[in-house]
Amino acid sequence: MSEDIDLDDIERRMRGAIDALKHEFAGLRTGRASTSLLDQVVVDVYGASMPLNQVGTVSVPEARMLSVQVWDKGNASAVEKAIRNAGLGLNPMNDGQLIRIPIPELNEERRAELAKVAAKYAEQCRISLRNVRKGGMDTLKRMEKDKAIGEDDHKMYADEVQDLTNKYVKLVDETLATKEQEIMQV
């Protein structure tokens, strides 16, 4: 390791950024029900903030309906409030321990809004990729300064790190284009 930069680690971290982006995209709704739509919802219960899936069971009983079976009836109103305030444009209905969430049709304005949110998530991912690249380049500079690698090796590894960065930025762009197409589909 002292003689080489760990390109596998750099690629693993870049893949992690892509995985995080796909997870964020799963939470953007496209007009049909999906349990991942509520993944980002955090509920204030028991004096702490907890992810929704630790407070109840999320399911899709119909194509345009989500339901949350809250395990503790006392938390139902907190779950309802958290879903309503999550910025997803959803209006939950509380039926005791069961919370029903109809998924409304997306209008053109809301589709454009969601596309902007998707673009913001993609830009955050690109920033993460550039930070991983910067870390790799800094390591290369330090290794060259410490005489662990020569100037030619530094150039070769720098090119490899840049190629990895380009590959993953292209993947972000493709993933964003697919998600935007999915959002805009009527």
Decide which of 56, 82, 102 is a domain's last residue.
102
How far CA 149 is from CA of 5, 62, 71, 79, 132, in Å, comes to 9, 60, 58, 56, 20
Residue 94: CB partners within 8 Å, gap ≥ 6?
A: 76, 77, 80
Same domain, 131 and 78: no
Q: How many CA atoms lie within 13 A of 19 on its CB side?
A: 6
Domain count, the chain: 2
Return d(Cα 95, Cα 100) in angstroms, integer: 7
In a domain, 1, yes or no: no
pLDDT at 186: 62
pLDDT, one tens digit per residue, over 39-98 is 788 888 888 888 888 888 888 888 788 898 988 888 888 888 888 887 777 888 888 888
Main-chain dihedrals φ then ψ at residue 133, nearest 5 degrees: -60, -45
Examine the domain organization and report whether 88 and 116 are in the same domain: no
Question: What is the pTM (predicted TM-score) of this model?
Answer: 0.68
Q: Could you say which of 76, 102, 128 is where a domain stops?
A: 102
Is 120 inside a domain boundary? yes
Q: pLDDT tier at 116 (50, 70, 90 boundaries)?
A: confident
Both 115 and 90 in one domain: the answer is no
Residue 42 and residue 88 share a domain = yes
**Per-residue b/e over 37-68, b at no fewer than 16 CB within 10 Å?**
bbebbebebeeeebebeebbebeeeeeeebbb
Structural domain includes residue 20: yes
Tokens, residue 73 = 């009836």
Whether 39 is in a domain gets the answer yes
At which of 102, 126, 160 does a domain end? 102
Q: Would you say residue 150 lies in a domain? A: yes
Same domain, 38 and 70: yes
Q: For residue 14, give Cα distances in angstroms to 1, 159, 163.
A: 20, 16, 12
CATH code for the domain in which residue 124 is found = 1.10.132.20
Range of the domain at 58: 32-102
